[in-house]
Amino acid sequence: MVLQGKMAIITGAGGDLGRGMSLRLAEKGARVMVNDKNLDKALETVNLVVNQGGQAMAHNADVTKAEEVREMVDQVIREWGKVDILVNNAGDVRDALLIKMGDEDWDFVVDLSLKGSFVCARAVAPHMIEQGYGKIVNISSMAYRGNVGQTNYVSAKAGVVGLTHALGLELARYGINVNCIAPGLIETPKSRTLDEKTRERLIKMTPMRRMGEIIDIANAVLFLVSDVSKYITRQTIHVSGGMEGF
Ligand SMILES: NC(=O)c1ccc[n+]([C@@H]2O[C@H](COP(=O)([O-])OP(=O)(O)OC[C@H]3O[C@@H](n4cnc5c(N)ncnc54)[C@H](O)[C@@H]3O)[C@@H](O)[C@H]2O)c1
């Protein structure tokens, strides 16, 4: 129970990877604030955590809205007394080739991944600074190195790596670790809808010749939010079966 007594906020945790992270961190003793704009999905995750014997609550703050995020953090402080862990996981795609990409596609993706991570980090930082302890994990993607049809997503996810470097530097003196995970191709209900040809091509690009599992990402998060990694900060871990870019 390496996370016994720790309070965590995981954004986008009604989704596939965030749900896996919530279950893993709760299994190790953390209480989890399951954030998702979609409250029904957040509540489903809360139920799964509670069914495995853990503690969780849900909040449907939109991570791009500072006021809603502040309310969520206030609720954690009010009910659980502190916040130790933030995982900035909420993210989505709106793919299009550059010349066809609309301003709204750019704004949606960059706001969600990059601004959302900044807004959430800014909201928890005063509490973490005060207690001299905190773990922030930002979820990027191996796409941060470039991918066709994803200028918005690539820029947002590269921005998340930059945000990790900047926050890590600024917060290190307060005992706050800030790291980043870049998942490769992960087997989720969404990736199962890929057509067979694309799937095969992507697997061929992966040295381990298979897709990763949700638990692989959850385990990397667990490592970075526990104290076994306490001297690691400002790093990006590629959880990608050796795949280093598209
Ligand atoms: N699944 C993969 O293979 C993969 C690979 C690389 C990176 N990633 C990254 O991992 C993260 C999670 O991916 P996933 O596959 O679980 O996605 P997902 O779509 O299953 O989950 C994302 C969740 O975020 C929520 N969300 C969307 N906008 C929000 C907002 N404004 N505020 C709060 N919540 C919001 C959605 O409702 C959804 O439940 C994302 O950042 C994604 O870019 C995923």
Average pLDDT by consecutive 10-residue portion of the chain (246 residues)? 98 98 98 98 98 98 98 98 99 98 98 99 99 99 97 98 98 98 96 91 96 98 98 98 95
Closest CA to 42 of 11, 5, 79: 11
**d(CA 91, ligand 1 centre) in Å:** 4
Q: Whose CA is nearest to atom 30 of ligand 1?
A: 62
Which atom of ligand 1 has the smallest separation from the CA of 65? 31
**Mutation test residue for ligand 1: of 11, 21, 64, 92, the one with most atoms within 8 Å of CB:** 92
Q: Whose CA is nearest to atom 26 of ligand 1?
A: 12
Which pLDDT score, from 0 to 100, does residue 186 have? 97
Q: Whose CA is nearest to atom 13 of ligand 1?
A: 17
User: Could you list the residue range(s) of the whole structural domain that residue 39 is in?
Assistant: 7-238
Which pLDDT score, from 0 to 100, does residue 54 have? 98
Residue 207: inside a domain, yes or no? yes
Contact 7, 73 (CB under 8 A): no
Closest CA to 140 of 101, 87, 61: 87
Which pLDDT score, from 0 to 100, does residue 82 have? 98
Give the C-alpha separation, 116 to 121, whole Å.
9
What contacts 163, CB < 8 A, 6 or more positions away? Answer: 114, 117, 118, 121, 138
Residue 185: inside a domain, yes or no? yes
Give the C-alpha separation, 71 to 20, whole Å.
24
Give the C-alpha separation, 229 to 231, whole Å.
6
Look up residue 150 and give its two tokens.
Answer: 């994803």
**Alpha-carbon distances, residue 175 vs 68, 95, 117, 169, 189 (angstroms):** 26, 38, 19, 11, 37
**d(CA 14, ligand 1 centre) in Å:** 9
Which pLDDT score, from 0 to 100, does residue 100 have? 98
Residue 19: inside a domain, yes or no? yes
Q: Whose CA is nearest to atom 2 of ligand 1?
A: 186
Answer whether 0.75 is exceeded by the pTM: yes
Residue 2: inside a domain, yes or no? no
Residue 246: inside a domain, yes or no? no
Residue 228: inside a domain, yes or no? yes
Which atom of ligand 1 has the smallest separation from the CA of 60? 33
Q: Whose CA is nearest to atom 36 of ligand 1?
A: 12
Which pLDDT score, from 0 to 100, does residue 141 have? 98
Contact 61, 71 (CB under 8 A): yes
C-alpha of 134 from chain center: 15
What is the total count of domains within the chain?
1
Look up residue 177 and give its two tokens.
Answer: 């670790």
Pocket of ligand 1 (CB under 6 A): 11-12, 14-18, 35-38, 41, 62-64, 89-92, 112-113, 116, 139, 141, 183, 185-186, 188, 190-191
Q: Which helix (H) or strand (E) holds 135?
A: strand 134-139
Give the C-alpha separation, 51 to 41, whole Å.
15
Catalytically active residues, by annotation? 153
Tell me the backbone φ, ψ of residue 183, rounded to 5 degrees.
-70, 145
Residue 243: inside a domain, yes or no? no
Residue 1: inside a domain, yes or no? no
**d(CA 126, ligand 1 centre) in Å:** 26
CATH of the domain at 194: 3.40.50.720
